[in-house]
Homo-oligomer: A and B are copies of this chain.
Amino acid sequence: MLAEIITIGDEILIGQIVDTNSAWIAKEFNLLGISIHQITSVSDDREHIKEAVTKALATHDLVLITGGLGPTKDDITKQVLTELFKTTLVLDEIAFQNIKSIFVKRGFEILESNIAQAMLPENCTPLYNTCGTAPGMWFDINHKVVVSMPGVPYEMKAMMQLDVLPRLKNMFTFPVINHCTLQTSGVGESFLAEKIKAVEARLPSHIKLAYLPSIGMVRLRLTGKGSDEQQLAQEIEDFKNELKDELGSIIFAEGDISLAEHVCELLKAKKKTLALAESCTGGFVSSLIVQIPGCSECFMGSTVTYSYDAKEKELGVKHETLSKFGAVSEECVDEMLQGVIRKYHTDCAIAISGIAGPDGGTQDKPVGTIYIGIMVNGKKIIKRYQFEKHRVRNIERAAMAALNMLRMALEQSGI
């Protein structure tokens, strides 16, 4: 089966939003063993939408469309599909009741533009929206399928999971596919490639290896296609183990798990607690941990001390330490570590202080100088990092470096 995603919206083509829907849909398809063949983004323009859908239908069995179903004037997907498939709009009673109930719940009056959202092409199968007002549409067109869904990500996701994916599973036969992802942290892409080049050279043509770098980490993904499920799983397993042998502790986990999630799991498994003292990262490390359900088992709290004053009062950093060495120093981070452990009585701690930029650098400590300290059961490590000039990226890199230092120490501590 060949599938294409078409995302509709001027906001994508003028760059005011990032299309995250495609990646999410592609991921779900990938789990079913189908690679999306192409993703095409087009404008809110009648002719452009028609052309894109027509072209996609010429070479693909399945066309998934998102966007353009909202209540406002620039949303024209439904009208265009109605014209293209030569049908007419009729009121769908279930969609109408759904819209009404949403407005009653929110205590808002129902608007004309919302009633228009309940009008659907006569020849489509309605896909009811469990999270919003705009229904989706499923069209069967000459043994091919066109699905139109809202562009609001959580509405589209619910519609895919509850309705579209189950229908597709009934309709198409999916090939045998096997994936395996290894998560690495702390080294770059070319270093990894050099380390595993012998393994890579032995990969057969039906198994591919991809390097997926993001800030502070590289994911390695093995993907195999075949016909014998068990044999393919064994092959992937064998190559995965070869990669693990070569890379050792550079790999922190298997599967799609974040570094923060892995650190939480390690802490929980070892029954250890964590507190944070953040200066330049401003609560970002803390927010990464709190995104994980169940983190309250291991995470006690965080103190964001963005000023000298707060560092002294909240964490007991000495005034003379700040005046002698500055807030961005090994000495300050050391006292921040001690202070946060005293405060929260935890087994582990992270302390971060640096110059995130874009200003505030000096010759000795240019923008991007960040000190990170960790403590695991009384054992302390403090490192100086030199990142670049971009504030948000420096914050993200410092957060990843800190989490990686903590996970290495936890893994090596033998506790």
Chain A: residues with CB nearer than 8 A to chain B?
10-20, 22-30, 35-43, 48, 52, 70-74, 108, 111, 113-114, 131, 133, 152, 154, 181, 189-191, 193-194, 200, 208-214, 219, 221, 223, 276, 278, 280-287, 289-291, 293-296, 299-307, 309-310, 313-314, 343-344, 356-359, 388, 390-393, 395
Contacts and interface: CB of A to CB of B under 8 A. Distances in A.
Contact of A287 (B219, B283, B294, B357): B283
B17 A30 contact: no
Contacts of A306: 290, 295-296, 299-302
A23 B18 contact: yes
In the assembly, how many copies of this chain are there?
2
Nearest to A203: B73
29 contacts: A10-B210, A12-B23, A12-B39, A13-B37, A13-B38, A15-B23, A16-B27, A17-B214, A18-B18, A19-B22, A35-B43, A37-B43, A38-B40, A72-B190, A74-B209, A108-B191, A154-B393, A282-B283, A283-B290, A283-B302, A287-B395, A290-B304, A290-B306, A290-B356, A291-B395, A293-B391, A299-B306, A300-B306, A302-B304
Contacts of A71: 189-190, 193
A133 B11 CA distance: 32
B287 A287 contact: yes
Tell me the interface secondary structure of chain A in the complex: mixed
Given A40-B40, A284-B283, A300-B307, A212 B291 contact: no
Contact of A113 (B39, B70, B194, B310): B194
A208 B30 contact: no
Contacts of A40: 38-41
Contact of A35 (B10, B38, B208, B294): B10
A304 B301 contact: yes
A15 B43 contact: no
A175 to B, nearest CB: 14
Given A17-B212, A208-B10, A314 B293 contact: no
A221 B15 CA distance: 12
Given A38-B41, A290-B304, A310 B16 contact: no
Contact of A301 (B26, B214, B296, B314): B314
B74 A210 contact: yes
A286 B280 CA distance: 11
B38 A14 contact: no
Question: Which 10 A-B pairs rank lowest in CB-CB distance, beginning with the nearest?
Answer: A282-B290, A283-B283, A15-B27, A15-B26, A283-B286, A302-B304, A39-B41, A284-B287, A301-B310, A14-B30
Given A281-B287, A293-B358, A36 B23 contact: no
Contacts of A30: 14-15
A269 to B, nearest CB: 19
A286 B304 contact: yes
